[in-house]
Structure formats: C-alpha cells, structure tokens
Amino acid sequence: MSSTLLLKNALVIATLDDEQREIANGSVFIRGNRVEAVGPASELPATADKVIDMTGHVLIPGLINTHHHMFQSLTRALPAAQNAELFDWLTALFPVWQNITPAMQRAATRTAMAELMLSGCTTAADHAYLYVNGTRLDDSVQAAQEMGMRFHAVRGAMSLGQSKGGLPPDALVEQDEDAILKEMQRVVEELHDATPDAMIKVALGPCSPFTVTTDLMREGAALARSYGVGLHTHTAENAKDLAFSKERYGMTPTEYTESVGWVGHDVWHAHCVHLDDPGIALFARTGTGVAHCPCSNMRLASGIAPIRKMRDAGVKVGLGVDGSASNDTNNLLDEARQAMLSARVRDENPTAMSAREALYIATRGGADVLGRADMLGRIQPGYCADIIAFRTDDIAMAGALIDPIAALVFCTPQRVAHSIINGRQVIEDGVLLTRELPLIIEEHNALARELVLGK
C-alpha cells in the first residue's frame, strides 16, 4: 500500500485548480505520488504516515520552468559577456564552453536544480544543445535523478558552424547531422518515460535558426513526432535573430517556423520577444507554446515580449529562467515577479498582469506548455503531488499578510520552507534533503574555475 502524507493547517492554499480556490486553514492529503484530497483542514483526515504542520505557511503548486541551459551556470557573470547583446554574448562564451566536460555538465545541472528547487521549482526543462568532450544528455538526466527533480531533458544540437554561415565556431558544432539524429533517437528510446506522471521526459531541440540547418529542423520534428515527444527551440529572440532569418531564409522567424513544421501542441519556443501579430495568431491557432524569459531578455537587452497580447490571443505561455549566464540566477519565483513587472512596463499599464496571473503562468501555464496539463500545475485530486510552501513570518512577507498569495510575487521570498516533488519531501525547513548543498557549491566553484581560468 502507498504511504500517505498530510500537509495540515496551512494559512492558505492557492490550488490553481479550475475554480482557482484559495482555501484558508487548509490541508492536503497525499497518497503515494498523487494528491488524494485538498480542502479545509476540518474536512480532511487528521493523520497520515507522515504529517507536516503547515501552520503559518502558504501552499501553492510547484513552479514549472520551461526553458533553461543548466550548463551555463558554470559561466555566471563572466566579465567578457556582462554587457553584450545575444550574438556578442554567445561569441564571448562559445570559446569557454568548448572545454566543458561531463563532470562539469553534471555539476552545473546539480547547481542549477538546487537553486531552482530552493526557489520553489519542482519541474524543469533544460535545453542542452552543447555536446563536447564526451558530454551526453545522460549526464543531465543523472543529475536530475540525484536531485529528485521532475525533468524534461531536451536533446538539443548545433550543426551550423561559421564556415556554413552560422554563428558558432565550427569546433563547437556537431557537423554530422545523421549522427545527431541517431543520438536523438537513442536518448528518446533509452531515457524517455511516456507515463503521465513521469519524472524524466525527453524532447528534441535543434537550437535555433542561426545554429542548425533547415534539414535538421525538419528531420528533428519528424523524428520527435514519430516517437510522440516534444519539440523545443529558440525563436525571435532579438533584432539580429530577425535579421538573420530574413537574410538567410527570406522569412520572418515565425514564417520559417511554420515552413519547417515547428508549430503545434507538441512544440514550445523560447523567448519570442519579437513575435509579430501573424506569429501570435499562428501560435494561438496551432496550440504552440512560448517559454517567456523576462530576466534574460532584459539582461541581454533583447526587449520585452508581448505576453499580454499573446495571452489575450490564447497562446500558451510558461516561464523560463534561461541559462544562468544570461540571467545569472535560477530563481523561478523571481522570474514570475519580473514577468508581472515587465508586462506592466511594456504596456505602461499597472493592470497588464496581476500577481495571480503571474503565478498561473508559472504553474498551470508551464504545465500547458510542456504538455503536462493533466498531471501538473495545480493542487487537485488525481494530480501529481508537487507542492511548495512558504513561511509567512519571513522578513520578505512582513506587512503583506493581508494578501499572502499576491505577496509571493510582489515580495518574492527567496527560499521555500518545504517542497514536495512526486509525493517526496525534498526540502524541509529551507534545507535541501537530496544532496548536501555546501558540497554542490564547492564542486561547482572548483569546476567553474577550471573551465574559465584553466586551473
């Protein structure tokens, strides 16, 4: 028989279910990895195999990160890339990333996941497009299993080097596209779990129009659909991205996207800062998702994505922290705050996005984008038990308890008190349980120093 877990007496539970219930003095009863009941504490069982007293806590569904490059955690705040736009930023970092090893990949993934988990993230998609010195997607998956995080591992690729008109150096790309497709097939067959409550899923992700060929985009899409897995790439990120697409392909990024078959419910695109009106209509009509990365977009001066317009048109939108060399943090709750603030700045309208809508995008929105809307993103019977709790006596919440749900976004407490992923407690009283955080940090710093300084 499955073990049971009771989270009892929460100050308030924001379920994010279809009724958008906010339950005062609420409890959640979990059996195995699923929510069995949620409601007022007086109406739920009083005991379970394990009971956690949530008095003075706010409970919400685990946050969902739809776009990341976890290996980039090794090169945070690199001086040569601190004040550059996207293409110049990549050009500064490519030579450094060329020396990444499998051990570095695993360490960076553990660091990124630890920081994500401590900020309330329970599910993350990582677009791993760099494969050098023997690194494989398996390295990222191993780290996810160690950390206990729900993971969408995106097998990306770069194949279009500078000699063929692409942005990355030839030494950094995988030039044999048949070999890329063969490896993509392998990771799907060996690593992907198709069950609805899977902890590990695989998607395919040729990196971007300026780093892969048209053939790889088309063939990657065909391969993904033959296996029923998702598709992920970058689209319309900045002005140079637009110019490249128009010069090389004679199309806007979204026209190109449609021409290679990259629209549909199984596809999500990162950034989309410069998605035009026809592109927004295309994405809405086809069920194509968007990973909104406001901090990275601002860090690289790419612009502010038209998220209000996308949402009003019916486009699926989730949040992504992007790589930690273009955001420099892995805090998904902060990303929700920036999504709210940047929407207001773009439209010069304080009602352009509310705190609750930002939380919706960070939870249910992400589940929709990743194709997990039937299992993730809400606290509801039958759904996976991915639940986070924040203390309301934290300094960040002082004076905000008249509306603690909105305060999570406006005030942004920096660390969760508790995190449950797939019915398993992975953070207790702000402490990561699955790995020793000081050891993660120590290893990561040593390998980052070796990568950047060669010592």
Q: What is d(CA 73, CA 80) in angstroms, rounded to the nearest whole number?
A: 15
25-39, pLDDT tens digit by residue? 999 999 999 999 999
98-111, pLDDT tens digit by residue? 999 999 999 999 99
Which residues have a Cβ under 8 Å from the Cβ of 93 and sit 6 or more positions away?
Answer: 72, 75, 78, 80, 81, 325
pLDDT of 345 > 80? The answer is: yes
* pLDDT the model gives residue 262: 97
Q: Residue 358: which of 300, 406, 314 has the closest Cα?
A: 406
Q: What is the pTM of this model?
A: 0.97
Task: Report the percent of the chain where pLDDT is more than 70.
Answer: 100
165-185, pLDDT tens digit by residue? 889 999 999 989 999 999 999
pLDDT band at 241 (very low <50, low <70, confident <90, very high): confident
Q: What is d(CA 438, CA 215) in angstroms, rounded to the nearest whole number?
A: 45
What mean pLDDT do residues 198-210 have? Answer: 95
pLDDT of 1 > 80? The answer is: no
Domains of the chain listed by start with CATH number: 4-62+378-432 (2.30.40.10), 63-370 (3.20.20.140)
What mean pLDDT do residues 365-386 have? Answer: 98
Which residues have a Cβ under 8 Å from the Cβ of 300 and sit 6 or more positions away?
Answer: 84, 85, 86, 89, 238, 326
Q: What is d(CA 240, CA 377) in angstroms, rounded to the nearest whole number?
A: 35
Q: Reduced to 3 states, what is the DSSP secondary structure of residue 127?
A: strand
Q: What is d(CA 186, CA 94) in angstroms, rounded to the nearest whole number?
A: 26
* pLDDT the model gives residue 2: 87
* pLDDT the model gives residue 210: 87
Q: What is d(CA 206, CA 199) in angstroms, rounded to the nearest whole number?
A: 23
Q: What is the mean pLDDT of the chain?
A: 96
* pLDDT the model gives residue 244: 87
pLDDT band at 454 (very low <50, low <70, confident <90, very high): confident
Residue 2 dihedral angles phi and psi, to the nearest 5°: -70, 145
Q: What is d(CA 446, CA 132) in angstroms, rounded to the nearest whole number?
A: 19
> Please, what is the angle between helix 404-411 and helix 332-347, to 10°?
80
Q: What is d(CA 151, CA 399) in angstroms, rounded to the nearest whole number?
A: 36
What mean pLDDT do residues 336-343 have? Answer: 98
pLDDT of 301 > 90? The answer is: yes
Residue 117 dihedral angles phi and psi, to the nearest 5°: -60, -40
